[in-house]
Amino acid sequence: MHLKRSAIALAIMLLSGIGYTQAQTAPLEDFKPSSFNQPFQQYPQVNSQGYARFRIYAPNADSVRVSLGLGGQGGTKLTKADSGYFIGTTAGPMDEGFHYYHVNVDGATFNDPGTGFFYGSQRWESGIEIPAKDQDFYALKDVPHGNMQQILFPSKSTNTSRAAFVYTPPGYEDGKTKYPVLYLQHGWGENETTWGIQGKANLIMDNMIAEGRIKPFIVVMTYGMTNTGSRPGGNRPRPATNNAPPDTTRRAGGPSGGPGGFGGNIAATNGFQAVLLDELIPYVDAHFRTIAKRDGRAMAGLSMGGAETKGITLAKPEVFGYWGLLSGGNYTPADLEGKMKPKFMFISYGSKEANGANALPKVEADLKAAGYNVTTYVSPGTAHEFQSWRRSLYQMAPQLFK
Amino acid sequence: MHLKRSAIALAIMLLSGIGYTQAQTAPLEDFKPSSFNQPFQQYPQVNSQGYARFRIYAPNADSVRVSLGLGGQGGTKLTKADSGYFIGTTAGPMDEGFHYYHVNVDGATFNDPGTGFFYGSQRWESGIEIPAKDQDFYALKDVPHGNMQQILFPSKSTNTSRAAFVYTPPGYEDGKTKYPVLYLQHGWGENETTWGIQGKANLIMDNMIAEGRIKPFIVVMTYGMTNTGSRPGGNRPRPATNNAPPDTTRRAGGPSGGPGGFGGNIAATNGFQAVLLDELIPYVDAHFRTIAKRDGRAMAGLSMGGAETKGITLAKPEVFGYWGLLSGGNYTPADLEGKMKPKFMFISYGSKEANGANALPKVEADLKAAGYNVTTYVSPGTAHEFQSWRRSLYQMAPQLFK
């Protein structure tokens, strides 16, 4: 009887649309092009409620779907119009911030010709930006701008030149000041371009510096996907032109000349720790005006980059004074026992990463009880996506290098 | 009778395949992934003769074509295999160097999921690299590397922040030396990322400096598509998030967050000259260690960028000492009459740009007869494409700033 009542309740809920209340309401017709669209491209669009609308020209296709939609619905199915365009709107508002997606046309996967390209899932994917109420902190404003520069640093352990992006704060090039450095890592399937493009790390930094929220520091972002197996020819210098023969080995790497990559090539190797500690940090300290000691160094990462941060900071606690895990696990007193104490730890999740977010109060309490300096943060209404990490950077940054 | 004989000759030629000798010969089966492919992607491929082979997964499509092929054949039609892949090879070898293309699936246009993305035709397009016999000069080598950095400079004339890329030579960040600056412009439909990605300008510079072919200089590349009409809202600051309402006005601009663009936004305006001379050059001179005078400044551009170079150098001959037109028109003694003399002019074409290339000896002779210092160059076996311009940069650079 209990079961039966539940079944009836569920049926009523489904019929009355409780599961997708928003889906039953027509979205407001104030759609505008996504901010991440290519120049001149009017689709995809977003409305003021956060609905996304897609349009794909495919005059002879039978079926076009977009991989983005509401959870559990398998994306958004577009409907064909007489014009040859398929068009469709998400069943409800999307979470604020950036979302990756791609298009399926009669079973074939392509990018949406309307959007820019964003490296994730080991591919350049399509992406859409749902305006957030707090988007001001990563907006491009009329404030002094730092520079994002691509460096190619020599790596003996991988026998190649490797790419990294370095954010230097406004005034860096004119002055003599030495700056602390945050080493900031991307997640699985992403690369050294990700924090700058999807994450808007440079704009977040510009704005925080302009507001006086932080003292200026340098941010270094490199490719951290070093655990996907070595690639053929890894023991000889790899030119940017990757002309290795076809093979079934996963060839980890950033763009070999694609977007965001000015000739940077990345050879995979086991040993991101060696690349970071023995090669990248010495290169950065030699070529930039850095505070080249523990108190002038932070490491943080999102997701897999958080796992890398945890592993490296615990293995070499003397290198970094400030440690940050963004949706990338927790530190516990047991992890830290007997080690050189970090000056500060930051741990964060999106609220929709329920397990991580719900456990955070205890994680923080345990660490504080054991005498550690830690701050935790939960990004409201976001999941394992970039809005959580943009906000985490904004929350973490003022607490670094104190 | 003459006509008839011609017709017969033509028929014989067609039947015997004289027009496409190469097409009748099976290409060598030594295909390798194009160097511009995304990581892990095995197609498109190129063989040692310069044939390109494409493969697109489209299990339910009827027709897949690639816009690249041999002139006059309308690209390459792919053939469906049982696997669901369409596959096809160009009818003959392609010219050496970089080529843009896209894919047509049953009448819909997409990018090839295998390649990186390259801004051209006012879109991010697919691209393929045909290895060239002289590719060594733009290879990524184990030499000191300069940095490519994105700057966002304030522009009062467009009331926005505008993006440029600045190449600084190896050693720049450690030293006190002041450097001359080459302002280097892209062609129609391209943007500030183009010279670095398609053009490999940073690698060409690195290699020339390592070889002692040139003394180090800075290269500045900004967006020059300022003649496509103003965009709505152009009189207020434009955030990187372009959320202007849909409109039919062409919105000129670089990627508003896509590849290569860390938040840079570009508002269109008439008046590239004002942006360049009144805004970008003062910004660069204020923020980089430049030789901030005519003898320390060069301007060059390809195609439309050549036309811009010609217009600006003739209008303001006192700003730049060295002037370069790459597949972008010629200077004549009449153009130059009564003006402040350039210290040096460089004019080049690809050999397959027959009109331009064939006229060059007279262009050069006329200028020399009138007392000007000019060098001309023809890139062998290339057309209005990037291999001509990579080579032109390599030929021009040693003659600048002397």
How do residues B263-272 score in pLDDT, each as one tens digit? 644 433 358 9
pLDDT tens digits, residue range B128-172?
A: 999 999 999 999 999 999 999 999 999 998 888 899 999 999 999
Contacts of B196 in chain A (CB under 8 A): 262-263
Has residue B241 got a pLDDT over 90? Answer: no
Is A210 part of the contact surface with chain B (CB cutoff 8 Å)?
Answer: no
Higher pLDDT, B303 or B225: B303
Instruction: Give the one of A35, A252, A263 whose C-beta lies nearest to B200's C-beta.
Output: A263
Q: What is the pLDDT of residue A318?
A: 98
Q: What is the pLDDT of residue A158?
A: 85
Is B175 part of the contact surface with chain A (CB cutoff 8 Å)?
Answer: no
Has residue B5 got a pLDDT over 70? Answer: no
Strands B344-350 and B297-302, by their bridges, are unpaired
User: For chain A (length 402 residues), average pLDDT per consecutive 10?
Assistant: 48 42 75 95 97 97 92 80 96 95 96 95 95 97 93 89 94 91 97 96 98 98 68 25 24 36 48 95 97 98 97 97 98 97 98 97 98 98 97 98 95
Instruction: Check B288 against A60: CB less than 8 A apart.
Output: no
Q: What is the pLDDT of residue B377?
A: 98
Is B245 part of the contact surface with chain A (CB cutoff 8 Å)?
Answer: yes
Is B152 part of the contact surface with chain A (CB cutoff 8 Å)?
Answer: yes
In contact, B251 and A39? CB cutoff 8 Å? yes
pLDDT tens digits, residue range B92-106?
A: 999 999 999 999 999
In contact, B43 and B64? CB cutoff 8 Å? no
Nearest CA of chain B to the CA of A172: how many Å?
9
Is B236 part of the contact surface with chain A (CB cutoff 8 Å)?
Answer: no
Q: What is the pLDDT of residue B270?
A: 52
If 0-12 CB within 10 Å is exposed, 13-18 middle and 19+ buried, where does residue A83 land?
A: exposed
Strand locations in B135-196, DSSP E?
A: 147-155, 160-168, 181-185
Q: What is the pLDDT of residue A69?
A: 84
Q: What is the pLDDT of residue B313?
A: 97
In contact, B81 and B95? CB cutoff 8 Å? no
What average pLDDT does the segment B18-25 reach?
Answer: 49
Contacts of B116 in chain A (CB under 8 A): 124, 255-259, 261
ipTM exceeding 0.85, yes/no: no
Instruction: Check B108 against A61: CB less than 8 A apart.
Output: yes
Identity at A149, one-letter amino acid code: Q
Is A23 part of the contact surface with chain B (CB cutoff 8 Å)?
Answer: no
Nearest CA of chain B to the CA of A49: how many Å?
14
The tokens describing B54, both together, are 């494409």
- The residue in chain B having the minimum alpha-carbon distance to the alpha carbon of residue A256 is B36
Residues A50, A381: Cα–Cα separation, whole Å? 13
Q: What is the pLDDT of residue B384?
A: 97
Q: What is the pLDDT of residue A68?
A: 93
Q: CB contacts < 8 Å between A and B, how many? A: 277
**Rounded mean pLDDT of chain B?**
86
Q: What is the pLDDT of residue B391?
A: 98
Position B277 confidence tier, pLDDT thresholds 50, 70, 90: very high
Instruction: Check A117 against B107: CB less than 8 A apart.
Output: no
Instruction: Check B140 against A254: CB less than 8 A apart.
Output: no
Has residue B229 got a pLDDT over 70? Answer: no
Q: What is the pLDDT of residue B232?
A: 26
Instruction: Check B259 against A203: CB less than 8 A apart.
Output: no
User: Sheet harboring A52-57: ordered strands across?
Assistant: A32-33, A45-46, A52-57, A85-89, A79-80
What average pLDDT does the segment B245-272 reach?
Answer: 42
Q: What is the pLDDT of residue A173?
A: 84
Phi first, then psi: what are they for A37, rounded to 5°?
-65, 160
Q: What is the pLDDT of residue B175?
A: 85
- The residue in chain B having the minimum alpha-carbon distance to the alpha carbon of residue A261 is B197
Q: What is the pLDDT of residue A24?
A: 56
Q: What is the pLDDT of residue A73?
A: 59
Is A147 part of the contact surface with chain B (CB cutoff 8 Å)?
Answer: yes
